[in-house]
């Protein structure tokens, strides 16, 4: 589905990602864990083509490294940005409708409202708040809205940037339940998380990033048992 080869990203003179390679296979759920400043978010942004990068990016066997960001979403590569990024002054419904921006002219009105209902079915908390301004939702609800909005574009590969950030533990649980049900619908997921325990318990495989490099790549269960990972990220 997605293959990253020797990806490098610089912010001015600072190298944020120093040449990493990994892959995400169709139907998989893969996580990228690591501490602050390891380059996880930058990696996701580079894949979504929001920051210029060097290296090779293959999405569904085609190179996307020179494609503009706004075209990728039409091909099913969607990003849920860090810090949620909902349109605070638009209503929940309007936010979801913006998610279908790339499908205008392709999808009919009926399809669109069926999609909306499907997402309200998945996220009943949003259904109660259709008319409410997105900025007035709680953090967890905003995160759900951001996920719901990305689903409106019918993604095949969903990039999730720290969905647990700044949420209460109970809300984190709920958001991850939503993510799991999205995965169950056949969407391939690449998840960036600081909450390593939770991310690894959900994903099949994981990559550990440290200061711009991938230092470990293994199945989630072996990462969870790895003593280095346990001391560094699981607080033991």
Partner 1 sequence: MIADWRKDRQVVRAGIGLFALALAVLPFVVSASFGNSWVRVLDFALLYIMLALGLNIVVGFAGLLDLGYIAFYAVGAYLYAVLSSPHLAGAFPSLAPGLAWPIWVILPLGALVAGLFGILLGAPTLRLRGDYLAIVTLGFGEIIRIFLNNLNAPINLTNGPQGITGIAPLHIGGVVLGRGQDILGFTVPGIHLYYYLFLLLALGIVFVTVRLEDSRIGRSWVAIREDEIAAKACGINTRNVKLLAFAMGASFGGVAGGLFAGFQEFVSPESFSLTESVMVLCMVVLGGMGNIGGVILGGLLLSVLPEILRWGAAPVQQALFGRVLLDPESLRMLLFGLALILVMLYRPAGLWPSAVRRREFEEAAEEEKEIVGLEEGSA
Take residue 219 and report the two structure tokens written for it. Answer: 């199945």
- Residue nearer to partner 1 on the CB measure, 102 or 198: 102
Q: Looking at the DSSP assignment, which residues form a beta bridge with residue 32?
A: 192, 207
Least distance to partner 1 from the beta carbon of 208, Å?
26
d(CA 158, CA 44): 10
Min dist. Cβ of residue 211 to partner 1 (A): 24
81 belongs to the binding site for partner 1 (CB under 8 A): yes
The answer to whether 145 touches 110, Cβ cutoff 8 Å, is no
Among 1, 9, 102, 151, binds partner 1 (CB under 8 A): 102
Determine if 130 is a binding residue for partner 1 (CB under 8 A).
no
Euclidean distance between CA atoms 86 and 80, whole angstroms: 10
* Angle of the 92-99 helix axis to the 139-151 helix axis, nearest 10: 30
51: left (phi over 0), alpha (psi -120 to 50) or beta: beta
Paired tokens of 43: 């990696």
Residue of the chain from 40, 149, 154, 156 that contacts partner 1 (CB under 8 A): 149
- The only residue of 11, 27, 54, 101 in contact with partner 1, by rule CB under 8 A: 101
How many CB atoms lie under 10 A from the CB of residue 71? 12
Interface positions, 49-78, toward partner 1 (CB under 8 A): 50, 68-74, 78
Q: In the complex, what is the shortest distance from the CB of residue 192 to partner 1, in angstroms, rounded to a whole number?
A: 14
For residue 105, the 8-state DSSP code is: T
Stretch that binds partner 1, among 22-30, 82-90, 174-182, 215-223 (CB under 8 A): 82-90
| 72 vs 232 by CB, closer to partner 1 | 72
Q: What is the binding site for partner 1 (CB under 8 A)? A: 48, 50, 68-74, 78-81, 85-90, 98-99, 101-102, 104, 133, 135-136, 146, 149-150, 153
């Amino acid at each position: 589905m997605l293959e990253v080869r020797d990806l490098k990203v610089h912010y001015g003179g600072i190298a944020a990602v120093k040449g990493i390679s990994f892959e995400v296979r169709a139907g998989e759920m893969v996580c990228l864990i690591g501490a602050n400043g390891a380059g996880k978010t930058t990696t996701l942004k580079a894949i979504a083509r929001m920051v210029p990068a060097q290296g090779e990016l293959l999405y569904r066997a085609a190179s996307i490294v020179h494609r503009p960001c706004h075209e990728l979403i039409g091909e099913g590569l969607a990003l849920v940005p860090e810090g949620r990024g909902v349109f605070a002054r638009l209503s929940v419904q309007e936010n979801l409708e913006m998610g279908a921006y790339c499908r205008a002219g392709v999808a009919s009105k009926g399809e669109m409202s069926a999609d909306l209902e499907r997402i309200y079915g998945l996220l009943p908390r949003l259904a109660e708040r259709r008319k409410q301004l997105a900025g007035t939702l709680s953090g967890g609800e905003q995160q759900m809205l951001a996920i719901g909005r990305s689903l409106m574009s019918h993604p095949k590969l969903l990039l999730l940037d720290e969905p647990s950030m700044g949420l209460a533990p109970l809300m984190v649980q709920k958001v991850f339940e939503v993510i799991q049900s999205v995965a169950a619908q056949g969407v391939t997921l690449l998840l960036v998380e600081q909450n390593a325990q939770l991310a690894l318990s959900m994903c099949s495989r994981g990559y550990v990033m440290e200061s711009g490099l991938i230092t470990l790549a293994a199945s989630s269960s072996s990462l969870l048992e790895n003593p280095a990972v346990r001391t560094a990220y699981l607080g033991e």
